């Protein structure tokens, strides 16, 4: 059969009877040099093999069959499906990003707003340059698209602060746009099929002027006197509105939102100073003498001592040593105060007085660690604040159970009660717990819920009411006023407003080489409206300037720039 096919092909390609000339099969060697060999002149050309022709023909035939099958599959079998895909390639759906709601302070000052940037389709978030606002505002993450220009994340994502907590309110609802393109990808037409709905604006209770000033004061003092950080809060005790909430140091909201300054962002991440820690809510610190206010409330309510009874402070008390009865355990005061009653003990911050009424000494019984724990919890210590924004760390009240668990079964001793009574040992509190507790002293036992939104008064329940007679709150307030006029808080004895306050210094570190400096209180004294707390964290134990200085500078600034808070 193959032989027959060769004959047929030979008849097709070769003309029978054609004469073959000699010059077609022979070359004259004398003419060979004259031939252009590059043009294949003067060469004997070998004819194409018949087998190769058959192979190429068969290959061509197979390719034609394969292409025919593919075309049939594309046009007939999957024709409708491919037609739909083609239409979709021509019509591209793109989001129309909703304008994010602005964030305003209590006076209508814009703190976060929108502007058009490099990408005409995306609203860029902008933040005020005032300091002291980062942990309140937070930052956002922009929508993201792939290398082909398609968005795989179509929402702004709030990452901290107000931007995160109220993201759903601020972000609005995106719209939808259809863009028709030609084969070259150029836009032919576009049409909006769903309009975007802008996010809602939010007005905060925060006064950005006051927050900025407090931050500047804390920053300057930390730099000049080697404190590691600081925090400050001022709140309206009548409605729970937070007027200032400052944590130092802080990140810059604009830097994190833009995400372009890698060096600064890495500094935020790697620094031991805690740029991302909101110290007012999540920072925990040894409180020191500020707890004497709440010790006094427990002592009065339990009838441990008459507030007018005097206790002698000679600079220390001595009790039998639990480890060696032949020796005495000495618990020192920071100075000898002489005879002091409760009001003056608060004013001068007598350790001996609170050792005695806390753990007992000689014939004076003490409150005892169980009651100490009960009253501190009553004022909100040891548990997190119940709030979506301000809810933070629990803190710690030292107890026998805690000591046993922490120190491998060690038992509780009277000295541990003494140290707890003056806010030392394992005591840990947050600034927000302190300001709420002080607010409850100012308003006769209402432990306020907090609000970050202007005009949004949080509801109260039984858990907000501290059932202690009003007269005992008055005793403690009088002690706080004495602290300002003649005691340890004289730094805030300003002429333009009467203050009730309590300062405190807590020793921290293994060798007690560092201190936390506190001041807390309220104003105006005769009709309390605002409670405050200021903290300077981990400064040298030789420092004599701390949180009270920050509050004094703030009060002087407020008298000139925000006098409405003193009316």
CB 268 within 8 A of CB 275: yes
Q: What is the mean pLDDT of residues 6-11?
A: 52
List the domains of the chain with CATH numbers: 92-203 (3.90.1310.10), 208-566 (3.40.710.10)
Residue partners of 464: CB distance under 8 A and separation at least 6: 446, 447, 448, 449
For range 530-548, the mean pLDDT: 95
Instruction: Give the pLDDT confidence of 244-267 residue by residue, as tens digits.
Output: 999 999 999 999 999 999 999 999
pLDDT score of 58: 83
pLDDT score at 70: 77
Please report, for residues 360, 472, 477, the alpha-carbon distance to residue 465 in angstroms, rounded to integers and kept in the order given: 29, 15, 18
Distance CA 552, CA 231 (A): 15
Mean pLDDT, the chain, integer: 88
- In whole angstroms, what is the distance from residue 459 CA to residue 411 CA? 42
CA distance 494 to 498: 7
* 153, 144 Cβ separation under 8 angstroms: yes
Determine the angle formed by the axes of helices 292-301 and 431-442, rounding to 10 degrees: 50
User: Would you tell me the crossing angle of helices 414-421 and 351-359 to the nearest 10 degrees?
Assistant: 130
Q: CA 167, 171, 173: angle at the middle one, nearest 5?
A: 135
Name the maximum alpha-carbon separation found in the chain: 147
Q: Is the pLDDT of residue 40 over 70?
A: no
Task: Kindly give, in sequence order, each residue whose CB lies less than 8 Å from that of residue 14, ignoring residues fewer than 6 positions away.
Answer: none
**Spatial separation of the C-alpha atoms in residues 93 and 192, rounded to whole Å:** 10
Q: What is the pLDDT of residue 65?
A: 85
> Looking up tokens 């402070």, which residue turns up?
313
For the chain, the straight-line distance linking the first and the last C-alpha, in angstroms and rounded, comes to: 118
Higher pLDDT, 461 or 477: 477
Rounded-to-integer distance, Cα 335 and Cα 357, Å = 18
39 pLDDT tier (thresholds 50, 70, 90)? low
- Is 314 a residue whose pLDDT tops 80? yes
Q: Where is mean pLDDT largest: 8-17, 311-320, 406-415, 521-530?
A: 521-530
Structure tokens at 532: 């405050």
Say what the pLDDT of residue 9 is. 47
Measured CA to CA, the distance from residue 293 to residue 487 in angstroms comes to: 14
Query: What count of other Cβ atoms lies within 10 Å of the Cβ of residue 334?
Result: 16
C-beta of residue 493 within 8 angstroms of C-beta of residue 461:
no
Residue 389 CB contacts under 8 Å (≥ 6 apart), including other chains:
162, 165, 450, 452
Q: For residue 187, name the pLDDT band (cuts at 50, 70, 90).
A: low
41 pLDDT more than 70: no
Query: Considering the chain, what percentage of its residues have pLDDT values greater than 90?
Result: 68
Does residue 3 register a pLDDT over 70?
no
Q: Token digits for 497? A: 């407003």
Confidence at 91, pLDDT banded by 50, 70, 90: low
150 vs 450 pLDDT, higher one: 450
pLDDT on residue 413: 92
The predicted model gives 210-224 an average pLDDT of 97
The confidence band for 95, taking pLDDT boundaries of 50, 70 and 90, is confident
Burial-class residue 76 by CB neighbours within 10 Å (0-12, 13-18, 19+).
exposed
Which SS3 state, helix, strand or coil, does residue 341 take? Answer: coil
pLDDT at 182 over 60: yes
Mean pLDDT of 521-525: 97
Distances, alpha carbon 349 to alpha carbons 254, 338, 355, 461, 480, in Å: 44, 12, 11, 33, 10
pLDDT at 436 over 80: yes
Share of the chain above pLDDT 70, in %: 86
The residues, any chain, with a CB within 8 Å of residue 338's CB and separated by 6 or more, are: 312, 313
Please report the pLDDT score of residue 326 as a whole number: 78
Mean pLDDT of 131-145: 93
Whole-angstrom Cα distance, residue 475 to residue 477?
Answer: 5
Instruction: Tell me if 448 sits within 8 A of 197, measured CB to CB.
Output: no
* Rounded Cα–Cα distance for residues 438 and 222 (Å): 25
């Amino acid at each position: 059969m193959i032989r027959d096919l060769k004959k047929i092909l030979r008849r097709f390609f070769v003309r029978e009877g054609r004469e073959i000339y000699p010059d077609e099969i022979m070359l004259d060697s004398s003419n060979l040099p004259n031939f252009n060999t590059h043009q294949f002149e003067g060469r004997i050309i070998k004819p194409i093999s018949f087998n190769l022709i058959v192979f190429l023909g068969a290959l061509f035939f197979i390719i034609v069959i394969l292409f025919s099958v593919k075309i049939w599959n594309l046009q007939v079998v999957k024709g409708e499906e491919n037609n739909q895909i083609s239409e979709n390639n021509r019509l591209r759906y793109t989001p129309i990003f909703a304008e994010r709601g602005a964030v305003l302070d209590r006076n209508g000052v814009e703190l976060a707003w929108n502007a058009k940037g490099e990408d005409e389709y995306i609203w860029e978030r902008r933040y005020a340059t005032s300091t002291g606002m980062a942990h309140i505002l937070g930052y956002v993450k922009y929508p993201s698209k792939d290398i082909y220009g398609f968005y795989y994340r179509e929402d702004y994502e709030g990452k901290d602060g107000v931007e995160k907590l109220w993201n759903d309110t601020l972000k609005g609802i995106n719209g939808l746009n259809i863009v028709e393109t030609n084969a070259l990808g150029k836009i032919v037409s576009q049409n909006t099929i769903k309009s975007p709905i802008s996010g809602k604006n939010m007005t905060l209770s925060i006064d950005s002027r006051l927050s900025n000033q407090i931050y500047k004061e804390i920053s300057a003092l930390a730099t000049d006197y080697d404190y590691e950080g600081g925090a400050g809060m001022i709140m309206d005790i009548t409605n729970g509105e937070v007027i200032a909430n400052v944590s130092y140091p802080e990140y810059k909201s604009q830097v994190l939102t833009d995400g372009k300054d890698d060096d600064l962002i890495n500094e935020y991440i790697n620094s031991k100073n805690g740029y991302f820690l909101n110290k007012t809510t999540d920072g925990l610190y040894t409180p020191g003498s500020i707890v004497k206010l709440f010790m006094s409330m427990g002592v009065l309510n339990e009838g441990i001592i008459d507030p007018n009874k005097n206790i002698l402070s000679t600079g220390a008390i001595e009790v039998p040593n639990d480890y060696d009865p032949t020796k005495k355990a000495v618990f020192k005061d920071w100075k000898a105060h002489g005879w002091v009653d409760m009001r003056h003990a608060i004013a001068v911050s007598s350790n001996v007085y609170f050792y005695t009424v806390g753990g007992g000494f000689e014939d004076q019984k003490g409150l005892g660690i169980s009651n100490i724990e009960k009253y501190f919890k009553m004022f909100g210590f040891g548990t997190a604040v119940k709030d979506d924004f301000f809810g933070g760390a629990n803190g710690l009240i030292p107890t026998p159970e805690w000591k046993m668990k922490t120190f491998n079964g060690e038992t509780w001793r009277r000295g541990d009660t003494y140290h707890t009574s003056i806010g030392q040992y394992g005591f840990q509190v947050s600034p927000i717990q302190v300001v709420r507790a002080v607010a409850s002293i100012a308003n006769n036992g209402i432990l306020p819920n907090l609000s970050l939104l202007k005009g949004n008064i949080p509801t109260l329940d039984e858990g907000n009411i501290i059932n202690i007679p009003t007269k005992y709150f008055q005793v403690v307030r009088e002690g706080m006023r004495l602290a300002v006029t003649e005691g340890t808080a004289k730094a805030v004895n300003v002429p333009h407003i009467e203050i009730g306050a309590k300062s405190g210094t807590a020793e921290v570190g293994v060798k007690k080489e560092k201190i936390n400096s506190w001041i807390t209180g309220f104003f105006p004294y005769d009709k309390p409206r605002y409670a405050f707390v200021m903290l300077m964290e981990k400064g040298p134990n030789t420092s004599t300037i701390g949180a009270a200085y920050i509050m004094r500078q703030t009060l002087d600034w407020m008298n000139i720039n925000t006098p409405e808070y003193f009316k």
